[in-house]
Each structure stands twice: as C-alpha cells, then as structure tokens.
Structure 1
Amino acid sequence: MNRHSMTAPSLRRGLGWMLWLLVGLWIAGCGTGALPVPVDLPTPTPFVVEATATPAPTSVAQPVTLRYALWDPNQVPAYQACADQFMAVNPLISVEIEQADWAEYWDQLENAMAAGDAPDVFANHLTRLPDLAAAGKILDLEPLMLRDGVDDTIYIGRLPRMWMRAGERYGLPKDWDTIALVYNRELLAAAGVPPAALTNLTWNPRDGGLFQQMLGRLTLDRAGNNALSPDFNADEVAQYALTMPGSDGGGAYGQSQWSNLAVADGFHFTDYLFADRYYYDDPALMETLAWYQRLINELGYHTPLPADDPVDGRTRFLAGEAALITDGSWQIGTYVNDAPFDVGFVPLPVGPQGRKSMLNSVADSIWAGTPHPEAAWAWVTYLGSVDCQLIVGEYAVTFPALQSGVERMLAHYDDVGVNVHAYTAYLREDDDQIFLFPVTEHAAAINAVMEPVIAAVLRGEVDPAVALPAANEKVNALFDGVNMP
C-alpha cells in the first residue's frame, strides 16, 4: 500500500441521501427523455439498513458442483471468500470459480454455450445482455424472484431495472462503476500544481478550456520545457500530461476514454435502453474526437496510440510516463496498490453540458443450459445478498450494488487515507452527471465496426467528420439485418 499524504474526509457521511438521489438520475440514459424500461417494479427505498446474517441453506438433495465465471482477476479473492461462506452453509453445493481476461472471456463463454458446456453462472455485462437474452442463452429470473419473494428494492437506485426487458429479468446486480481522473502526485508536485487545481477544470472541444491549459503545464519536452513555453518541442516529449486505458482508443463505447467528454459536449449514443439507432454521426462526437486527435498528434499532450507498437495507457501511467489518466472505479485498487508513487482521484472536467461520467452495471446471470438451475439460483441470490456484498465491499475492488457494501468499500479507503469520493461525487450533485452505458443488440458487431474507426481517428489517419458518418451508417444497418462492407 502506498503512502497518501491527503487525509480523506468522512466519505460515508451523507451516503444515504447521495444514493437516494441516484434513483432520480439513474435511467437518464444518454441525456434524453424517459426510457422504455419496466415501470411496474416497486420504487426503491431511499435508505435500507441491512442486517448481516448467515446465509440460509438451500434445499439441494444431491451433491452439485457449480461453475462460476468472471473476467476480473482482481475480484477472484472476494468471490472466493463469498463462495467459502456459501459452501459452509450449503455443504452439498461446491462452487468452482473460473476466470478469463476480458479479451478472451466472451469468446470462451459463447463457444462453451454452443458446445453445451458453459459455466452455470457468470458475470454479465450490459453490452452483452440484449443478444444473450434474445438468443435464449440466459434464464429469466423473474419467475424465481416472484416465487421466492426476493426483494429487489434493497439494491441501489434502479440497478435492477437495467437488467430487465419486457418484464423479464436476466441478472441480479453485483456492482456499478463511474469514471474519474487519476493523477500522479509526484508529477503534479514537480510542476507546482496542487491537486485542488484539478477539481474545477473546464473543457470545450475548440480550445480545450482550462483542462487543456493544465495539460500543457504538465507536458514536458526533453529539455524540461512545458508545453506552454514557446521553447517547447512537441517532437521531443519526455512526459505526457494525459493517457487513456488500452491501446485502441476505447472501441465503440470509449467508457474510460472519450465518451465522457463527448457527452459533456452534448453527444448521446442512443435515445434509450434497447434502442435500434446510434448517433456516431453527431457533430458533438466529431469535434470531441477531433480535439483528442489534435491533442495526440499535433500538440503532444497525450500519449500516442501507435498501431505497430501498442502499449496500454495504464502501463504508461504506472511507469510515470503521463501525469493523468481517465479510468474507472474498478481500477482504484490497481492504482493505489501497484503505482510506485502516490495517486489521487478527482472528478472529470466540466464540459459545455456539465460534468458527465458513464455509469455501468455488472450482474450475475444463469446460463439457460445449466443442469443445476436451483443450485445456480441459490448461488446468484447469495451473490446479491448483504452477506456477499459486504465481503466484496471489504475487498474494495468495485462498488457493490448494495448501499452497505458501498459504505464498506468507502470505509476501507477512508481508513488508509485514500480519498475516492471522485467516483461517487457524480451521484451527490443536484444536476444529472451520469449517463448510461449503451444497451442495445449487436454489441460485438458494433464494436467490430467502430473500434478500427475510433483508433484511426485518434491516430490522425482519418477525418472524424468523414469517418464517423460512414461508420454510423454501418452500425445502424445492423439493426435492419444488413451487414455493410
């Protein structure tokens, strides 16, 4: 654990009303009107004090081995602890955890489903929900919820509704995430920049606002000149101000990369949940990506994205090559534990339409072909219970879907002096600062279209005003059953 000189305030204080406010903001989607989501569920209560209890055993007559799959290796210890507790009171059920990195996870899962040998339960992502549900590959949990009287109002805000379509439910929430700006304290100090100076940055796609000025101050050439100096040499950059996770620009959704500033400029991916049209031809997205293009290829403020030598931006940041990186709350532990320097977290800059962060949810789903549906359901309900969520909060890798689990995670970082309030700050404000991860069919095909286009734009190889409309036409053709070349 790194040392952190800043003492965190009481992050738990006021969390109840913060998360209640989330109820009113959650399904704001992409900044558009009401979304066609189920409305017949009970309104979530503003604050639930959950009691910790030993999980109740389930009735299984014969020994059963369940396979549980997830993609994040950092979460395996937490869920192994959950499995140990679950198995202690359910001795006839064994849980085996399987982990595969994101790049291989979905292909492996799809292949296993096709072969009839998939994990019984798996961590599911919103982008994959529509296609898996439409193909009948995951169970509708709503009949089981009603049969067993499982209360979904214990979850934060409208998280449960994000996993419902046309009255059917395909997962129980496990966690949620937002995006913030992560900074290297040492590089800020060397530039004479107090961390507080990062908290009120403004941005626009024309001149970059105060954010771009700060990036110029934090970019250095080999002679030690920052980018605001007339002597700065953009061809000889020794320290970049900014980098982004991955090496391809974030693909179709740019969750931790460009989407947040684009939406802050007025862009929206779709009109609502399960929509059948995208707006990658929106001028707001074009000018946002054009700004990134200049930042990377002309100004030298941002790390390059060379196709022939891809390097993950997280690796660059942890190596001290960049002072700042935008990243998700699921990576807090990576920066706190792995960086050889102290880090801090602040909310993203404020754009023309305000401060915006993408919000995403992960849930546990049951494979429709499981030979053990009752045991799988028992495991899923336990994963979403107070008992497991408190364990997950204690391991402090992701923000759990239950309020008590979030409080446990915040308490963990509070106790070690790390202020991670930047990720929850979006939910405390009076205006809508969150937008939903796009949830539509054809996610994999959409990414196949958009990933090379986004990468080419950011590398300066194509004009976003030309490339994005053409790509958008291909994306929308998918919903019409057409695969354009």
Structure 2
Amino acid sequence: MKFSKKRVRNAVASAGAALMLSACGSYGVDPGADGDTGTVTYWLWESAQLPAYQQCAIDFQAQNPDIEIQIEQFGWDDYWNKLFTGFVANSAPDVFADHTQRYGEFAERGLIVPIDEQLAASDIDLDDYVEGTTELWIGPDGKRYGLPKDFDTVGLFYNEDMTTEAGITAEQMKNLTWNPQDGGTYEDVIAHLTVDENGVRGDEPGFDKTKVKTYGLGLGSSGAPFGQVEWSYLAMTTGWWYMDKESWGTKFNYDDPRFQETYSWWRGLIDKGYMPPLAFTEGGSPDQQMQAGRYAIVSEGSWNTANYGSLQGVNLQLAPTPIGPSGQRAAMQNSLADSISTSSQVKGAAWKWVQYLASEECQSVVAEAGVVMPAIASTVETSKASLGETGFDISAFTDQIEQGTTFPYPAVLQAAEIQSTMSSAMDNVMAFNADVDSLNAANDRLNSLFTDPDE
C-alpha cells in the first residue's frame, strides 16, 4: 500500500529498527488483557486516507459507545521508528496499519496477535475480499495476522500532451512490449519522449544526453529489495522470483541472470540519457517532476492515483505495464491490514475495531473517498467510480487482477536487514559506483542471514 501507500527506502532507519527488534525480541512482552471496552489507540501513516478512517471511527463509535478510537497519523519513516520504539517500551498502539514486508518479524517475535480464533468465531467470509489479498496475511507460522483493508497494483502515468506531440497514441501506450535485450517498444517510446534542451529527441541524431529537458521515464529510487513500482513489473515477466519460495524464503535470487539482465537494462536508460541519474531524485518526487515537465512517464502505484489526478497544469493519462518475454504483463499486488499489538490491554475492543476496518461498511466509506481501492470486492465498483473522477481509466490497475497477471508483494523475515543490504547495494549500482554483478555479494549476505553459523 502501499508503501504509502509508500515503499521501504530508508536503510538507516531500517537498520536501527532491526536493532530495536533484536532488543525487544519476544521477551518481556506484557500479554495484555482482552478488555471489550475502553480506548483503542490506532496508528496509520497515510495522511490522504486519514479523513476516511476518521469517518469510520465516528461511525464505529456510534455503534459501540463504550469504545473510543484515538487515531494518530505519522509520516512513513517516523511511523516505523515510533512503532519500534513503542514495542521496546511496551507502549505500542493497540491497533496499527501494518505492511506485508514488516509483519512477519512482528509475528515471529510475538509482538502482534494472530486472529484465527477470532475469525473463526465471527461471520466474516474471506471470499468477500479481492482475490489474492487474504493470502498475504498468513504468517510464517501459518497463522493469520490481519484482514485486508485495501489493495494496490502498478501502472504507467504519462503526459498525454507529450505523447500526442510525439505521435504516440493511447492505443500504443496500452500495448507496449518489453524485453531486457533491446527494451522493446517500451524503450522505443521512452527514447522518443526524451527531449534535450535543443529539442532533439532521444532517438534522433544529435541528441545530447548531458542536457536533457524531459526524461522519457522518471526515477524515484533504485527500488531497494523489491522494486515495487520501479522494476518489479519488468523482472516478473522473465520468470524470475525474489527467493526460493513465494513467501518467507531463505535463499535469494538477486544473482540470477534474469534479474541482473533486467536491472542492467533499467540502469542502462540512465546511461543513454532516457532516465535521470539517481542523484536527480533528490531534486523532487516523481509527481513533482512530472508536473514540472521533467518526466514523460512514471511507473507508479495505484495508491497515488488521486495525487497524480490533482496535479495542476499537466494532462496525464494511465496505461498498463508493458507485456514482457512471458507474453503477459505483470504488476505487484499488495494489501495492507491492521494488526493488534500483543501488549494491548483492550484486545477485545481492538478486535472489534479491526473487524470494522475490514468490513464493507467502513470500506465503502474509503471507496467513496477515492484515495485507495478497498479490499472488499463489493466496494470495487464504487472505488472505480470515485477514482474515475480523477480522469484516469483505472482499468490499467484492475484488469491485471482480473486477468491473473499480478504477483504478491514478497513477504520476508529479516526485513530490516534485507532492506539495508539491498538498498545500499542497489544505490551503488544505480549510481554507477558498482557493476550489476556486485549484487552477487549482496545476495550472499542475504542468504547468510538464514544460515546457521554452526553448520
């Protein structure tokens, strides 16, 4: 969601988080109480979604007058730092918005509550949720730690005025192809949309890659371990996967030639002048760069649809990710959920709130807000209509779910260490301080996290 829905990017914060988790472990955790009434503290990181969930809290409290919901919202990095500190100090919120990448470690250390028993005693039907969202919340121990509250996928936002001027049709944008050898029609379009300060396009003689006015493809980051919006939609069409299992793997595949060919092609766009250098990302976020006319295309998550739709002075449209060597498209699908802290003194009330957050009643409110797509299938059409008011055809997102070309966000243990290791390694590669095959050593370091040193 989304990471944020944001993506994990801050290696320093992640490394610090790992130390905190190691310090708290599963020891000294107050099992709390199952109080059915009282005050439930609830944390989330996404400010754009805050009004919708505040309305859900108002509606919930009207039905449960003996429960008060206190919502606190923090920015992405502050959110996780405060949460880890709360775990250490035994002052974590009763309920918090959780992410697929993070919850495995929380579950393994006994910091969040499995909800299998509560779910079995409820009338919740998991078939009511969008396909692929409920499985994401089954932890490494086989227990369930959340109910999906939303879902997201990835697509291509593009400047329609620029594509029209370049003679590129909407139909072409909807049917782009890609391969790691020559980039397919995707690279052709990216090159043609790149324009230097003299008005020469990237695929024309005399193009000056040192003086680019508009980059054909925008860059937000190196993608860190998972490349949710940056490169995952490309790598997945080669048959590659992150690790030896779909979830909770212990052997990683960043040394696989299919991945390294994909990453090498992607980095090569910088060398050709079609995508900005990594240092360029410090000058503004992708949406800001797109509004300023510096980017023609940005690969981005569906959670940012409303944000891109609100940009002034720029005419944007939405296309699906390109068709790759597999003959199909690919897009990462993720879903956030809400977790209950083990230390909560009001677990009964917390479960009622979690149930409500995952209900059609609350998710309908979220759908009408038009900020993110809720996970209850019956609310999807409302969500489409609300998001459609942004002017985008969001079928670029939803069609891939219906066509079965999405893949799950990779759930991992040792997430903080993986984040730190791969952020550093990939930043070095994208900054041309290291070759792509340097990722072999980083991959070995990840594998060593799951190797018994006594073996």
CA distance in 2 between partners of 1:61 and 1:228 (Å): 65
Match of 1:312 in 2: 285
Aligned-partner residue type, residue 177 of structure 1:
D
1:300-327 Cα shifts (integer Å, max 9, x gaps)? 0012211894543332123221100000
Give CA-to-partner distance per residue, 1:117-152, whole Å, 9 cap, x none.
111111111111210100000001111112234332
User: Does the Cα contact within 8 Å between 1:175 and 1:398 map onto a contact in 2?
Assistant: yes
Partner of 2:193: 218
Please name the residue that 1:480 is paired with: 451
Deviates more, 1:191-200 or 1:174-183: 191-200
Partner of 2:143: 168
On the 8 A contact 1:159/1:173 being kept in 2, the answer is: yes
Q: Determine helix, strand or coil for the equivalent of 1:351.
A: coil
Distance 1:362 1:308, change over 3 A: closer
Task: Label 1:366 to 1:402 Cα distance change in 2 as closer, same or farther (>3 A).
Answer: same
Does structure 2 retain, via aligned residues, the 8 Å contact 1:258–1:289?
Answer: yes
Q: In the aligned structure 2, how far is the partner of 1:360 from the partner of 1:412?
A: 20
Confirm or deny that 1:159 pairs with 2:125. Answer: no
Question: Percent identical across equivalent pairs?
Answer: 35
Q: What secondary structure sits across from 1:227 in the alignment?
A: coil
Contact 1:215 1:241 survives alignment (8 Å): yes
Amino acid at match of 2:176: L
Whether the 8 Å CA contact 2:35–2:347 is kept in 1: the answer is no
Alignment match of 1:66 (pick from 6, 19, 40):
40
Q: Is the Cα contact below 8 Å between 1:79 and 1:392 reproduced in 2?
A: yes
Q: When the two structures are superposed, what TM-score results if normalisation uses the length of structure 1? A: 0.83
Task: Decide which moves more: 468-477 or 309-318.
Answer: 309-318
Which residue of the other structure, out of 195, 200, 208, is the alignment partner of 2:175?
200
Counterpart mapping for 1:425-444 below 5 A: 425-429=399-403, 432-444=404-416
Deviations 1:29-58 (A, max 9, x none): xxxxxxxxxxxxxxxxxxxxxxxxxxxxxx
Corresponding residue of 1:98 = 72
SS at match of 1:338: coil
Choose which of 198, 222, 228 in structure 2 pairs with 1:255: 228
Deviation of 1:236 (Å): 1.1
Aligned to 1:355, what secondary structure does the other structure show?
coil
CA RMSD of aligned residues (A): 1.8
On the 8 A contact 1:178/1:360 being kept in 2, the answer is: yes
SS at match of 1:358: strand
- SS of match in other structure, 1:97: strand
Answer yes or no: is the 8 Å Cα contact 2:306–2:390 preserved in 1.
no
DSSP 3-state at the match of 1:127: helix
Using a 3 Å threshold, how does the CA distance of structure 1 residues 338 and 274 change in structure 2: closer, same or farther? same
Deviations 1:369-427 (A, max 9, x none): 01110110110000011100101111111111101221111022345643111001112
Displacement of 1:97 in angstroms is: 1.3
Match of 1:124 among 98, 108, 112: 98
Q: Does 1:294 align with 2:265?
A: no
Cα distance change, pair 238–310 in 1 and its aligned pair in 2 (3 A): closer
Rounded Cα–Cα distance in structure 2 between residues aligned with 1:350 and 1:158: 21
Please give the secondary structure, in 2, of the residue aligned with 1:172. Answer: coil
Aligned pair partner of 1:273 in 244, 247, 260: 247
Q: Does 1:209 align with 2:181?
A: no
Cα shift at 1:61: 7.1
Aligned pair in 2 of structure 1 residues 125, 61: CA closer, same or farther (>3 Å)?
closer
User: Which string of whole-angstrom CA distances, capped at 9 and with x for unpartnered residues, describes residues 258-313 of structure 1?
Assistant: 111111122210222222121111111111111122111x2100122118945433
**How far apart in 2 are the matches of 1:154 and 1:427?**
15
CA contact (8 A) 1:180 1:328 kept: yes
Matches of 2:282 and 2:388, distance apart in 1: 39
Indicate the larger mover: 415-424 or 455-464: 415-424
Is 1:242 equivalent to 2:242 in the alignment? no
- Look up the equivalent residue of 2:439 and give its one-letter code: L
Listed as ranges, the gaps of 5+ residues in structure 1 are 1-58
Name which of 420, 443, 451 aligns with 1:448. 420
Stretch of structure 1 that moved more, 220-229 or 266-275:
266-275
- Are the structure 2 counterparts of residues 310 and 418 from structure 1 closer, same or farther at C-alpha, using a change threshold of 3 Å? closer
The partner residue of 1:184 within 159, 164, 187 is: 159
Q: Is it true that 1:341 corresponds to 2:314 in the alignment?
A: yes
In the alignment, residue 180 of structure 1 is paired with which amino acid? Answer: G
Q: 1:308 to 1:227 in 2, by over 3 A?
A: closer
**2: CA distance, partners of 1:345 / 1:135:** 41
- Checking the alignment, whether the CA contact within 8 Å between 1:60 and 1:92 is kept in structure 2 is no
Structure 2 CA distance, aligned partners of 1:406 and 1:159?
13
SS of residue matched to 1:306: helix
Q: Structure 2: 5+ residue runs without aligned partners?
A: 1-33
- Say yes or no: does 1:378 pair with 2:349: no
Aligned residue number for residue 84 of structure 1: 58
- Indicate conservation of the 8 Å contact 2:36/2:347, yes or no: no
Tell me the distance in 1 between the aligned counterparts of 2:390 and 2:157: 17
For residues 47-58 of structure 1, the aligned pairs below 5 Å read: none
Q: Secondary structure at the match of 1:427?
A: helix
Cα 1:118–1:337 shift into 2, 3 Å: same
SS at 1:169 equivalent: coil
Contact 1:244–1:327 (8 Å) recurs in 2:
no
Change (3 A) 1:437 1:370: same
| Cα separation, 2, equivalents of 1:211 and 1:408 | 32
Instruction: Provide the rounded CA distance (Å) in 2 between the counterparts of 1:417 and 1:441.
Output: 39
Say how many residue pairs are matched.
417
What secondary structure sits across from 1:302 in the alignment? coil
| Comparing 324-333 and 191-200, the one that deviates more | 191-200
Q: Which runs of 4+ in 1 moved over 6 A?
A: none
How big is the shift at 1:193? Answer: 2.1
Note if contact 2:154-2:302 (Cα within 8 Å) is conserved in structure 1: yes
Return closer, same or farther for 1:394/1:283 CA change in 2, 3 Å cut-off. same
Aligned to 1:148: 122
CA contact (8 A) 2:219 2:281 kept: no
Q: C-alpha offsets along residues 90-117 of structure 1, whole Å, 9 cap, x if unaligned? A: 1221111111122222121111111111
Superposed displacement of residue 339, structure 1: 4.3
* Partner SS state of residue 101, structure 2: coil
DSSP 3-state at the match of 2:134: helix
Number of the residue aligned with 1:138? 112
Give me the whole-angstrom Cα distance separating, in 2, the residues matched to 1:378 and 1:340: 44
